[in-house]
Amino acid sequence: MSSDAAAHRHHAIDYIEFTVLDMVRAQEFYRRAFDWQFTDYGPDYAGIQRPGGEAGGFRVDATVARGGPLVILYSEDLDGTLRRVREAGGVITTEPFEFPGGRRFHFTDPSGNELAVWSAR
């Protein structure tokens, strides 16, 4: 996490940490599906890079609990992102659907974490 106080916003979500079962497989999936880049901090932790710092991290654990808050990513090309998620090994749990303001789908990553992707188009 960046220690630059100017990069942080009061009461804003600052960092998202995902529990993963296999660090190498998790990084490969997110790199292939979303072009994410990582900083490795040892075998059990990696930071998810964004311009200006880190957006979150992966932490290895023996189990992953589904449920809780749903992380929703944005895409400028929902159908292209859907294809990339499938090709990278993600499992689509909710096919694309329309809602007021756009479309979205849900998927699970190789560790079983559920996320969604939405687009205004």
Query: 24-83, pLDDT tens digit by residue?
Result: 999 999 999 999 999 999 999 999 999 888 999 999 999 998 888 899 999 999 999 999
- Amino acid 1: pLDDT: 44
Domain boundaries, the chain: 12-119
CA distance 84 to 99: 22
CA distance 47 to 64: 18
pTM for this model (two decimals): 0.90
Residue type, 88: A
CA distance 77 to 26: 22
CATH number of 12-119: 3.10.180.10
Structure tokens at 80: 């292209």
Task: List, as one string, the DSSP characters of 81-105.
Answer: HHHHHHHHT-EEEEEEEEETTEEEE
Q: What percent of the chain has pLDDT over 70?
A: 94
Asked whether the beta carbons of 104 and 119 are under 8 A apart, the reply is yes
CA distance 95 to 116: 10
